[in-house]
Structure 1
């Protein structure tokens, strides 16, 4: 039976080759779309690494005030901590779900360069405000005041790529010039600050306490994160804004919650994903129409063959199975060519994703193509099965 199907396909190799080329290209496009959708879904299922609930973000703008910024900020943090309803206060150079971050690859360890790493300047309270999960070592604190090195905490992704199977705690990194050193005191499990669809990129947290940081000069606008008691609302928000204005003598302060920022970033990230989904749906619709039209045309061109087979005793179900079998064989050949192209993605590291993402995308694209082919071939095969030999032979 299979040999017979291949013979029929070879006898109509020109039209079948065009059909296989269409299936191959459709499979490849579906594979690429599936890779992007599957990777985002995979990231969505991963832990964020921090807790955004009950955390408020205060963007402080000193404006033209260039005097005593650090002292004023230190006083402000103390006043906010003393406010009833406030659990903890921290500052960060870049906050979760923002649209900007700092990246570097300057770190070196025994001659090995670090991957591109996201950098966050933070203080001793960040671990409590964001609820970071320290899985090895500790978070930095006052015990690190006397060190001459930068005290840092990294995430597990950074530790794996930089040190492999070795423990990251206690490692000292340097740069190309060897004029700065960073000592790792702890490791957190993950930190996906970009969005719900962001991947867990290599991340490093650098300790910069308010009292000794050189980064809080006359140009930087600090961002404070305040963890409040559950159920806190507009009353506490207004109270904190008034206190900021009183302490800073007129600095502007805008407040948002990390939960709101998370929703806004999620909406922003959903737009291209929805567009990708629509592209995939449009592609599937066009492929379906093309397959249906080609099969319909083939049936009209092969009425004499169908009538002759029916006259020789072939049943309607046998005719239907023949057309379905031909389409499945053609689809298999087209998908096989598409898989040869798709398998190059994980081998060449295209998109830089984990191998399981590509495998799932291949499976999704394969299932969609075969399902689409079977659906499109079902009705034309039924039409072919209903053709009577006397009618088809009389038309010829």
Structure 2
């Protein structure tokens, strides 16, 4: 049977090649869509490691370049904030707050390993504001600041990059004046958006020049409290400026930057697949309409409706397999070459889902024309031809 199918396919190789090319292009599109969708779904489903609800971000400009004055101003702000009963916890931070559009990174070294790492400077109260649990070790305290070697918290991803399966606690990273000692490890910390993959981040004690803040307020705190806080902070210094944003809104804005392009891509790919589906549908109808004499002869010598139906479905499936095999050749290069530094599982899942999708798509397109072909009476088919 397969030998007969291959003969028929080869006899119409020109039209079948065009169909195979459509299948190949459709497979690559579906592979890209499924891989991207699975990659972002996996990232989205992982915990962020922070609680952003009821947290405000305060962007403060002290209008001075003096680090000593900034230290004094921060103390004034701390005293003022403590007078607000609505505020549960607060922490000064570097400008690269979670879900902000600011970034600060550096290469962190340990022996022969090095990783580009996001660097955050914060108060010891930082985990109280974001409710960040540690998977190992402890958080640094005010007492740790007097140590010559700075205590730091690292993410699990950075730990694996630098130390592998070794215990990270107590290890010294960096060189010379940039030496740091790991005192704690965070399991998950998505500080950019919900679709962020596991990444390298290092959190260390506050620097003299940092002036941004994170503030946790009690649930139900009104906008009047926000306006009052902003007004009183501005009055503490000369020509200060204070802008307060809600971390929840900042997170929504960063997520929107990711999911809107993805949605547009899915719509475009869906439109392309729809057009390919219509093309396949039309090609199959045209092919079968030109083969009525062949169908009539097969019915006349005893072929049943079921035989005709599955013959055309099988023929279409074989042609599809050629296109899929060609697509697989290109698709498997992605996990082999580790393209975009993404886990092989993402690409393998994309390949499997693309294969299943393309076969389902083609079989659905082939069923109606094949069913109509199987219902042709021999006498009608032979008389028309």
- Equivalence for 2:172: 172
- Equivalence for 1:55: 55
Structure 2 matches for 1:103-182, cutoff 5 A?
A: 103-105=105-107, 107-110=108-111, 112-175=112-175, 178-182=176-180
Is 2:56–2:216's contact at 8 Å kept on the other side of the alignment?
yes
Deviations 1:49-75 (A, max 9, x none): 111011111111234686823211221
Of 371, 374, 384 in structure 1, the residue corresponding to residue 360 of structure 2 is 371
- Equivalence for 1:215: 209
Question: What SS does the aligned partner of 1:116 have?
Answer: strand
- Equivalence for 1:39: 39
- Equivalence for 1:13: 13
- Give yes or no for the alignment of 1:268 onto 2:257: yes
Structure 2 matches for 1:1-396, cutoff 5 A?
A: 1-63=1-63, 68-93=69-94, 94-105=96-107, 107-110=108-111, 112-175=112-175, 178-208=176-206, 213-216=207-210, 222-396=211-385
| TM-score, normalising length: structure 2 | 0.94
Structure 1: distance between partners of 2:147 and 2:137? 17
Question: What SS does the aligned partner of 2:20 have?
Answer: helix
Structure 2: distance between partners of 1:246 and 1:180? 37
Shift in Å, 1:248: 2.5
Structure 1: distance between partners of 2:63 and 2:33? 46
Shift in Å, 1:205: 0.7
| TM-score, normalising length: structure 1 | 0.92
Is 1:76–1:248's contact at 8 Å kept on the other side of the alignment?
no
Count of residue pairs brought into register by the alignment: 383
Deviations 1:332-373 (A, max 9, x none): 222122122111111111122122211221122112211110
Is 1:57–1:256's contact at 8 Å kept on the other side of the alignment?
yes
Structure 2: distance between partners of 1:5 and 1:82? 84
| Structure 1: unaligned runs, 5 residues or longer | 217-221
Structure 2: distance between partners of 1:160 and 1:11? 57
Shift in Å, 1:239: 2.4
Question: What SS does the aligned partner of 2:119 have?
Answer: strand
Deviations 1:304-347 (A, max 9, x none): 11111111121222111111111112212221221221111111
Deviations 1:276-300 (A, max 9, x none): 1112211210110111121112112
Shift in Å, 1:101: 1.1
Shift in Å, 1:261: 1.2
Deviations 1:257-288 (A, max 9, x none): 11111122222222101111112211210110
Structure 1: distance between partners of 2:165 and 2:221? 44
Structure 2: distance between partners of 1:269 and 1:141? 36
Shift in Å, 1:140: 0.7
Deviations 1:88-143 (A, max 9, x none): 111222111112212222x2212x23222111111211111111111111111023
Is 1:58–1:225's contact at 8 Å kept on the other side of the alignment?
yes
- Equivalence for 1:219: none
Structure 1: distance between partners of 2:39 and 2:384? 54
